[in-house]
Amino acid sequence: MTSAFVLIDKPAGITSFRTLRGIKTQFGTKRVGHAGTLDQAASGLIVAAVGKCTRLLPYIEAQEKVYSFNLHLGILTDTLEPTGNILKQDNDAAREAEQVEAALQTFIGEIEQVPPAYSAIKINGKRASDLALKGQNIELKPRHTYISELKMLPTPNTTHTNLLYPLYCRCSKGTYIRSLARDIAEKLGTCGVADKIRRLAIGSISVEQASDKPILPQELFNWEIAEIGEEDAKKILNGVPIANSVLSSPKSMAFISNNGQIIAVAEYQNGYFIPKFLL
């Protein structure tokens, strides 16, 4: 199998790039990509794609991401993680759960956030994190993002004297959880960082599905399969659109199958399926 997906539960402490090494060895190819980088300290779901399946990654990356993390009040670091260099401390940072819940509600919907200086964002062709490591002053512009759900998770410690508040977040592509933690703390009138970030899901794909087994694209996407004849198969393979007479209802995307074999992915436009790429 030269093209497939692999769902990985990345452990904390290693980079996303290193996580993909085993996939490259397993499939004997360097053509491996993934949907959304996780920080080295973060854990959770990485959707890896091999071969031509890398072309399908944009459809996964565009979906909402789900995270759990600890809001750690009372410190601010350069990396926005507890292990970074401390820039600020607040010995009176403890807040009641009701205060935190109220602050969280102000972040629901479209927001602007400034990405962390220690991030993979490119500045004049260089990673912001590399420039930050060299001691350069990094100024990143605010970006629009969307939070659809943000809440506290149950905890037996109702007073939160340890300054840790477990949170759950469902958000759009491009959301930085570390920046979100910093901004929530500022809303509470103190400082804070994110700890134990874990990606629980991307769209309908859950970290609980992670395994080392390759997954075919039709198992991962909820797209209808259009069974076509040999004539239409030749057209698709030559990049020629075919009329939508093969599906029960118009779909924006579909797998095109000839003799039971998935041969292409097509997009529905104005009554025709336009081939996007071959599989």
Domain spans, the chain: 4-60+208-219, 65-202, 223-278
- The three-point CA angle 169-11-148 to 5° equals 10
Tell me, what's the pLDDT at 253? 83
Tell me, what's the pLDDT at 89? 95
pLDDT tens, position by position, for the chain (279 residues)? Answer: 578 999 999 999 998 889 888 888 888 888 899 998 899 999 999 999 999 899 999 999 999 999 999 999 999 999 999 999 999 999 999 999 899 999 999 999 999 998 887 666 656 666 655 655 656 666 778 899 999 999 999 876 554 556 899 999 999 999 999 999 999 999 999 999 999 999 999 999 999 999 988 998 888 888 888 888 888 888 888 988 888 776 666 677 888 888 888 888 888 888 888 888 888
Tell me, what's the pLDDT at 247? 67
Helix, strand or coil, per DSSP, at residue 62: coil
Residues acting as catalytic residues:
39
Tell me, what's the pLDDT at 44? 97
Assigned fold of 4-60+208-219: Alpha-Beta Plaits (3.30.70)
4-10 vs 43-50, strand pairing mode? antiparallel
Q: Which residue has the tokens 């002053």?
A: 137
Assigned fold of 65-202: Pseudouridine synthase (3.30.2350)
Is 223-278 a CATH 3.30.360.10 domain?
Answer: no
Q: Under a CB-based contact definition with an 8 Å cutoff, are residues 146 and 110 in contact?
A: yes
Q: Under a CB-based contact definition with an 8 Å cutoff, are residues 191 and 86 in contact?
A: no
Alpha-carbon dihedral 199, 204, 207, 212, rounded to 10 degrees: -130
224-228 vs 253-258, strand pairing mode? parallel
